[in-house]
Amino acid sequence: MNNKFLERIVLPYDLQQVIDCGVKTIIPENRSHLLSLAIGDEGNMTFEVEYDVPEQGNIVEATVVRCKNGAAVNYMDMYMRRRDPDCMVVADNGETDKPRYRDVYGEDFMPLRGLTFEWLKNQELIIMPFMAGGAEFGYPALLVAPANAGFFAAGLADLQGFIPKNQIPEGFKPKAVIYLAPPYRHTHFEGKQVVVHNRLDDMHELFSYNLYPGPSAKKGIYGVLLHIGELEGWVTVHASTVRVITPYENIITIMHEGASGGGKSEMLEQIHKELDGRIILAQNTITKEKTYLELKETCQLQPVTDDMALCHPAIQNGSRKLTVKDAEIGWFLRINHINKYGTDPHYEKLCIHPQEPLIFLNIHGIPGSTCLIWEHTMDEPGKPCPNPRVIMPRRFIPDIVDEPVEIDVRSFGVRTPPCTKEKPSYGIMGVFHILPPSLAWLWRLVAPRGHDNPSITDSEGMSSEGVGSYWPFATGKMVDQANLLLDQIISASATRYIIIPNQHIGAYKVGFMPQWVAREYLARRGTAKFRADQLVESRCSLMGYSLETLKVDGTFLAKGFLQPNLQPEIGNKGYDEGAKILTTFFKKELEKFLTPDLNPLGREIIECCMNDGKLEEYIDLIPIRM
């Protein structure tokens, strides 16, 4: 029955060999069909995703529970509940700065590639065509997965879309294929998450040897788009984007980048309030005193992108502002901050009463009940999983923006630890800082992963997510991505740049409040342009300008939130120690970009940092255009 539809696809040779062995194939017909594959027959309430593993017996990788509002997926192995940042290896001989398969494992990938295809020949398979990056500007791709991993296929379909079998166009030729083979996690990789990228001349093969969709269905496809963009001269940036409309109908569009946990999804959320309507701006970590903020009316939010913003040449319209479009049709929302009813009514309503059933991960599900997104799976007694997720199709989100948008303000989020004079740290940022373009580029090269990251398995201390904050998903060379980002910043001369901390401002716990305050403030101003008397050079030049004052809806913020060295708990000495930590980290991370392939202007900017350059020197390198 499926053969006539498979004939429309130009199958890769090795996959054609699998099909020719007579393996049963399933091509999804619609979303309902995919959801039925995730949980099994209508009578099924619980489904175990299990595999026979040589010499280890039957291993249950995950359970899928049918709830009223969707399917709750939970992994048996606690390690599998969030992405391992070191799971990528490259198998081909193309240019890369990433670990190569043969260097990590001491052998060529081809024997395992052959074993993977032999294993697939003995499985009932889901073969699902989709367009990586979206139907309008995306690229043909396929998923090849064992049929019992229906939840994985359904999740990928909600993230990237899929082409129903009766709509597959003749001559559909994939530029990328995901091959899913979970048992090899145990036979070859000691239980670790491993995703192997094999970039052939005419196709990008992606072998996923684990069932957590983060490194493959989500970030693996991101890697495919980055590789295509590297070849064609454009970037898919790691960013959320929101169009903000004030109560006075001013409109501003903000794109927020950052490492995992840097506040991308939160930029699309309304400011969090207490049940009595008050807003807790900050809490002093020493005295426990709370600072409140009053907003009579907040801005209207129209989401554009959540995590992957396509900067394809076809959507750049000659404007001096960067233009972006969502590279996904669904969002992989982390909801660890929703830990009780009423925390975020917007997403609670979308998840409890969805238009159609949803895919939940790492959330407790009881068969036949409603899956509640504040009931996170426990990693151990009393310790909830820090990475609960829901896959939310864009079409379910109110006021979503589908067309390309121009970016007025491009922000970068950093998870910051508490800072005091007794325990100095890099938590010395104010509510937000204005950056010249050259410094904005440096922050995107260094991309601090930051404090207490909930999304990944390695989150201790200060480390770098890598160039663009998307480097964990890229397969090529860092310097090539650095040059692409610099070209992008130079060409978008009318877009403004800021950095925003989350979690802490000096001695104060703030969560994601700084970016919500910055969003409300900038939207009310209608611009990110400031007069000279409204700004002061930051004590640490890497942070550009600090604000002299900030008033939102009639309320002035204390100056210690704008210039943390004025907090008595920090002072100039504690601040300078923190600045030294930050500057040392920048120099260490930037040194690796000083290669012969670096754009000469980029070399000047990095050398300015290495020589402890002043703010005016950064501005001279790339002026702030008016």
End-to-end, the C-alpha distance of the chain in Å comes to: 62
Phi–psi pair at 96, nearest 5 degrees: -165, 150
Q: In this predicted model, what pLDDT tens digit does every residue of 178-222 receive, in sequence order?
A: 999 999 999 999 999 999 999 999 999 999 999 999 999 999 999
Residue 539 clears pLDDT 70, i.e. is over it: yes
User: For strand 279-284 and strand 508-511, is the pairing parallel, antiparallel, or unpaired?
Assistant: antiparallel
pLDDT, residue 110, reads 98
pLDDT band with cut points at 50, 70 and 90 for residue 273: confident
User: CATH number of the domain at 273-294+410-621, please?
Assistant: 3.90.228.20
Token reading at 121: 């020949």
Instruction: Classify burial at 111, counting beta carbons within 10 Å of its beta carbon; exposed 0-12, middle 13-18, buried 19 or more.
Output: exposed
Average pLDDT over residues 162-180: 97
Residue spans of the domains in the chain: they are 3-39+83-232, 273-294+410-621
pLDDT at 2 over 70: no
CATH architecture, range 3-39+83-232: 3-Layer(aba) Sandwich (3.40)
The pLDDT of 286-307, averaged and rounded, is: 94
Mean pLDDT of the chain: 94
Confidence of residue 591 (pLDDT cuts 50, 70, 90): very high
Q: How many helical (H) and strand (E) elements, i.e. helices and strands, does the chain have?
A: 15, 31
The pTM (predicted TM-score) of the whole model is 0.93
3-39+83-232 against 273-294+410-621: fold identical: no
What distances in angstroms separate CA 386 from CA 44, 364, 379, 455, 459, one per listed residue?
29, 13, 9, 7, 12
Q: State the pLDDT at residue 78.
A: 96
Is the predicted pLDDT of residue 1 greater than 80, yes or no? no
